Amino acid sequence: MRICVIGTGYVGLVGSSVFADWGNEVIGVDNNPEKIKMIESGVMPIFEPGLRELVAKGISSGNLRFTDSLKAGINDAEIIFICVGTPMGEDGSADLKYIYQVADEIALEMKTPKIISIKSTVPVGTNKKIREYIKNKTSVEFDSVSVPEFLREGSSIEDMNQTDRTVIGSNSPEAIEKVSRLFEHLNSPIVKCDLESAELIKYASNSFLATKISFINEIAQICDLSGADVSKVAQGMGLDSRIGPKFLNASIGYGGSCFPKDVQALYKTSSDLGYHFNILESVIKTNKDQKHYFIEKIKKVYGEGLKGKTVACLGLAFKNDTDDIRESVAIEVVRILRDMGAEIKAFDPEAMPNSKKVLGDSGITYCATKEDAVTNSDFLVILTEWREFKELQDSVLISVKDKNIFDGRNLLDRTKLGNLGINYYCIGKK
């Protein structure tokens, strides 16, 4: 199929390269010519495992091309996927200005009938509004389709190839069938529905997962108070197939460019529709409070000030396997520790260049390795769930001067640390 993908962020760049890998003729569009040149020369604007190789494969097979001209991009396309950002607006709602900009251009440049499909996360009702908006500006026929994206950063290529489901919403059965053909070979369920249901499935899914995390984070507090172990509680809960084991890892809270924004946006959409979404209000509050709960554990040992203390901080990204620091709780915790007077020795396998841009250099040394960060620090704080942090050598761990480790991701082994004479503070485990 001939596909045009507009936007070269996580969804667009991964989407275009995977669609090309599936044998489609794909053209990726971005209005930033520098970004297009970078991508064509093999430099990816984001760190995503396997992406560079997949883009190179697509380009050399001839299935994948890029352009900074939307007109050239949509000319031959049968399906246009809009994959531009929908950041959080000041009032918590999704800011749709990029979607409308693209809609303007499509309306202007579209010469033959198309399927216009929005992959960006947009509030319920948006597809219909965009449809009307474009219809008012062109006489060319088109179908509107909502195909929300469920990929996770860090495993997005795998997620697209092994998706649990594909959701395709439209008021045109023909358009649904045509878009379905793109995904049929995945042999996973395809949910065919109206535009509004497709839009809401995306928000409901992200909000439900965020709810699961806030729920286990509150259970972790009960574990701390009662002496129970949150890992065991999560294991016992997760084995119930109605609950499932995933997204039950207690933490310093969820972050990233999706959950905080999408939960807030669904909450806002609900109140705009006249409904007060009680559960989401609590999910948001619990998540905001969770990092302070973690900081309190540090304060219980060290008091309010950390002047004169050197703190090793492992992890800056909002989660493992990404260089993304948007809404990263790790970054917020580093800021709090620095404000308390600590000297920070930070390490993250991928996110240090991005972190430097927002945290600067004052009070922070960015270390070349995790060992450099930890060795001879006063205490250690773990903030992102990178697997490699589990592999710190005993000799490095025992070099921590105060023998205190605060683990915001429950990664390390308490028994092993106990044997090394280290005090271990984590979330929801004695």
Residues identified as active-site: 258
Tell which residue, 131, 196, 132, has the closest CA to residue 167.
196
Q: Which two tokens stand for residue 71?
A: 């007109």
Nearer to ligand UGA, 316 or 364 (CB): 316
Backbone angles phi, psi at 210, to 5 degrees: -65, -35
Q: Which two tokens stand for residue 2?
A: 């001939």
Overall residue count recorded for the chain in this entry: 430
Spatial CB neighbours of 25, under 8 Å, sequence gap ≥ 6: 1, 2, 3, 63
Backbone angles phi, psi at 238, to 5 degrees: -65, -25
Min separation Cβ 303 and ligand UGA, Å: 28
Min separation Cβ 318 and ligand UGA, Å: 4
Helix, strand, coil shares of the chain, percent, nearest 5, are 45, 15, 40
Tell which residue, 83, 61, 57, has the closest CA to residue 4.
83
Nearer to ligand UGA, 259 or 366 (CB): 259
Residue type, 161: N
Min separation Cβ 206 and ligand UGA, Å: 5
Nearer to ligand UGA, 81 or 302 (CB): 81
List residues binding ligand UGA (CB under 6 A). Answer: 121, 149-153, 206, 209, 213, 247-249, 251, 254-256, 258-259, 262, 318-319, 385
Min separation Cβ 103 and ligand UGA, Å: 21
Min separation Cβ 325 and ligand UGA, Å: 11
Nearer to ligand UGA, 259 or 389 (CB): 259
Min separation Cβ 177 and ligand UGA, Å: 24
Nearer to ligand UGA, 162 or 393 (CB): 162
Min separation Cβ 418 and ligand UGA, Å: 25
Spatial CB neighbours of 68, under 8 Å, sequence gap ≥ 6: 29, 30, 31, 32, 33, 36
What secondary structure does DSSP assign to 198-253, as a single string?
HHHHHHHHHHHHHHHHHHHHHHHHHHHHHT--HHHHHHHHHTSTTT-STT----S-
- Angle (deg, nearest 10), helices 97-109 and 126-135: 30
- Angle (deg, nearest 10), helices 10-21 and 51-61: 50
Nearer to ligand UGA, 302 or 347 (CB): 347
Nearer to ligand UGA, 30 or 149 (CB): 149
Give 120: exposed, middle or buried? Use CB within 10 Å, 0-12, 13-18, 19+. buried
Starting at the earlier edge strand, list the strands of the sheet with 25-29.
64-67, 25-29, 2-6, 79-82, 114-118, 142-146, 166-170, 190-193
Min separation Cβ 219 and ligand UGA, Å: 12
Nearer to ligand UGA, 74 or 160 (CB): 160
- Specify whether the CB–CB gap between 110 and 138 falls below 8 A: yes
Rounded CA-CA distance 19/122 in Å is: 22
- Specify whether the CB–CB gap between 367 and 348 falls below 8 A: no
